[in-house]
Structure 1
Amino acid sequence: MRQPETPQPSETELDGDVFVSPRHLAAATATGDPGLASLLALGWELRYDDLANVYVIAPDRKVRLGYLPEGEDDGLWRINAYNDLFAPPVWGVCFSDSSPTEFVTAFTTTLAKAYEQGSGAYLAPPDLGHAGRDPFLAVVPLIDRGWQFEYPRWNVFAIRSPDKLACLEFTTGNLDPEAELTTRDARWHLCAGESVDRPAWYATASTDTPMPLLTAVTECVSDPAPLPRWREATFSHVRGLARLTPIVPPRPPAPTPLDVRRAASRRPAALPVSSIPRWSTTSRPVLPDARR
């Protein structure tokens, strides 16, 4: 079943001076806090290192998130899940430093829900024979919103956005498990920009990433609702390709009849005619006849 459209942010929640559409042409926001909020709400441990990198760790230590502004590469967000604390990760996901924060938040919010359901949810690998774990589910939101399939090279199929500026690639065959976790050579590769080789932003997901987590990202990426941003923070090389709509401050609502009656009830009553002074402070009183 297709998920409902993401509502447009209310005017009181906006941070920016333009709406960016399509949303895959937006840049990251100034803070990554929204991407951490759903996990911290579950009581996950929050740590920092001396370089100001942030680490969020599940209570059972089997899911770990790193927010790495001072990392070794442009992978700002790295999320790994483990079946055994002393073994390599079961799956890993990476978002680059320019990835729109809303896409990361969609992933971590769904991850928080899966974690509450148990390891059978957050460690469940894709499965063609399971209705809720079919890899095809990840591309359904894209198909529903007009993205088109392509076959750019051998053993890769892709699905591209209507404006040709975003693409999700799926690589078939065997892949190096370590390379999937540390490079862009992963099973799933999502990116935006005019070139796949030099994208504006990218996200990768390894082979065994649970489908509900990846589907949450593709649902968010393809959502037609625009994202609020500051104009100068929009990628310079795609700014002319995005639709930038100024954010106009909301007008005050028109008063209702009830508002009018309430205002009238609070207004001071008019002075009675008999109380109006006959003389102003500068008027001279009329003198008796004898002294005129």
Structure 2
Amino acid sequence: MSPRPDLHRDIDGDVYVFPRHLAGSTPTGDPALAPLLDRGWDLQYDEDDNVYVNAPDGRVRLGYLPEGEDDGLWRINAYKATPFDPPVWGVCFNDRVPTEFVAAFTTSLATTYQAGAYLARPVAGSAERDPFHAVVPLLQQGWKIDRPRWGVFAVNAPDGLGGLEYTTGYLNPAAELSTRDARWHLWAGKSIDRPYWYATASTDTPVALLTALTRCVADPAPLPRWRAETSSYMKGIAQLIPVLPPRPTAPTPLEVRRAAASRRPTALPAPSITRWSTSSRPALPGPSR
């Protein structure tokens, strides 16, 4: 049975999309920018209305690029010194990735940057920085281990409509930052060759950031969307659950007592004038004088 949320808030949508990795993006990227802007990161625009958000020291840069040259809507790079140096790591989300997934990444990025750990390289066998930790949230929700080809470790969604691949061995650092030939490749759709959405992360992307992303992807709760804005591609493979109106809350004991008191009859004052009814008999004539 598909999960249906029990808590009803101000929901931006008229359907829930299940599973959530088939939800697609939202019309605005503001929720994913907010975690960084709330920490005082600098916001800039270019002449094409692309958005750039920079860390206070300029060593992390996010680009929200609706007018970019390809479908890489979100590009996030970290630098050891200045943006003029080659990026230490880079992440890309294409234009259909659920915005909530990007927000999970940027929320973790804001915290990791504040702690000075945004350049923490993955270390195999480490208690906290082993790349395998990023896969655990997916395995805990029933994603299955796969070996699709030599040199690639993968986990696939239970419905077969999504997956995460980790490539072993040497990779071209420049290609990792500009193509889908990256260390990490997360996707959803009918096949990895032509995914509906995808995200990539280069070799030295901190495990804490990747784990925040996979934890959000693995969350079993569906995501709210507007049916009219849901792509026909996803309508054909995802479950759309109507959003129900809010359920009335149970009354408190005080409210029950007040309601009962309001229903009690109140005593009527004694009448000062005799009241006649249709059943009253007429007065008898008095004795004649």
Normalising to structure 1: TM-score of the pair?
0.86
1:161–1:110: structure 2 CA closer, same or farther, 3 Å change rule? same
Contact 1:93/1:206 (8 A) holds in 2: yes
2:225 is aligned to: 229
What amino acid maps onto 1:82 in structure 2?
Answer: Y
Matched, 1:96 2:103: no
Partner SS state of residue 148, structure 2: strand
Question: Quick one: distance in 1 between partners of 2:16 and 2:7?
Answer: 12
Question: Quick one: distance in 2 between partners of 1:276 and 1:46?
Answer: 80
1:87 is aligned to: 85
Matched, 1:54 2:80: no
Q: Which moved more, 1:254-263 or 1:212-221?
A: 254-263
Matched, 1:203 2:183: no
For residue 263 of structure 1, report the CA deviation from its aligned partner. 5.1
Contact 1:200/1:235 (8 A) holds in 2: no
1:285 is aligned to: none
Question: Quick one: distance in 2 between partners of 1:31 and 1:238?
Answer: 19
Q: Gaps spanning 5+ residues in structure 2: where?
A: 276-289
Matched, 1:191 2:187: yes
Q: Gaps spanning 5+ residues in structure 1: where?
A: 1-6, 280-292
Contact 1:46/1:56 (8 A) holds in 2: yes
1:226–1:274: structure 2 CA closer, same or farther, 3 Å change rule? same
Deviation per CA, 1:254-290, whole angstroms, max 9, x where unpaired? 43341143457789x96944589999xxxxxxxxxxx
1:275–1:12: structure 2 CA closer, same or farther, 3 Å change rule? farther
For residue 143 of structure 1, report the CA deviation from its aligned partner. 1.3
Normalising to structure 2: TM-score of the pair?
0.87
Contact 2:89/2:203 (8 A) holds in 1: yes
Contact 1:26/1:235 (8 A) holds in 2: no
What amino acid maps onto 2:168 in structure 1?
Answer: T
Question: Quick one: distance in 2 between partners of 1:230 and 1:70?
Answer: 24
2:13 is aligned to: 16
Deviation per CA, 1:67-116, whole angstroms, max 9, x where unpaired? 11111111111110000213100000011110001100110111111011
2:104 is aligned to: 106
Partner SS state of residue 235, structure 2: coil
Contact 2:188/2:197 (8 A) holds in 1: yes
Contact 1:20/1:227 (8 A) holds in 2: yes
Question: Quick one: distance in 2 between partners of 1:37 and 1:277?
Answer: 74
Contact 1:17/1:231 (8 A) holds in 2: yes
Matched, 1:69 2:93: no
For residue 172 of structure 1, report the CA deviation from its aligned partner. 1.6
2:122 is aligned to: 126
Contact 1:188/1:205 (8 A) holds in 2: yes
1:22-41 to 2 correspondences below 5 Å:
22-41=19-38
Contact 1:25/1:235 (8 A) holds in 2: no
Question: Quick one: distance in 2 between partners of 1:8 and 1:97?
Answer: 27
Question: Quick one: distance in 1 between partners of 2:100 and 2:5?
Answer: 12
Aligned length: 272
For residue 238 of structure 1, report the CA deviation from its aligned partner. 3.1
For residue 15 of structure 1, report the CA deviation from its aligned partner. 0.7
For residue 193 of structure 1, report the CA deviation from its aligned partner. 0.3
For residue 239 of structure 1, report the CA deviation from its aligned partner. 1.8
For residue 252 of structure 1, report the CA deviation from its aligned partner. 2.0
Deviation per CA, 1:162-213, whole angstroms, max 9, x where unpaired? 1000011111221111111111111100000001111111000000000010
For residue 51 of structure 1, report the CA deviation from its aligned partner. 1.3
Deviation per CA, 1:37-92, whole angstroms, max 9, x where unpaired? 11111100011112111111000100011111111111111110000213100000
Q: Which has the larger radius of gyration?
A: 2
Taking only the aligned residue pairs, the percentage that are identical comes to 64
Contact 2:23/2:234 (8 A) holds in 1: no
1:290 is aligned to: none
Contact 1:110/1:213 (8 A) holds in 2: yes
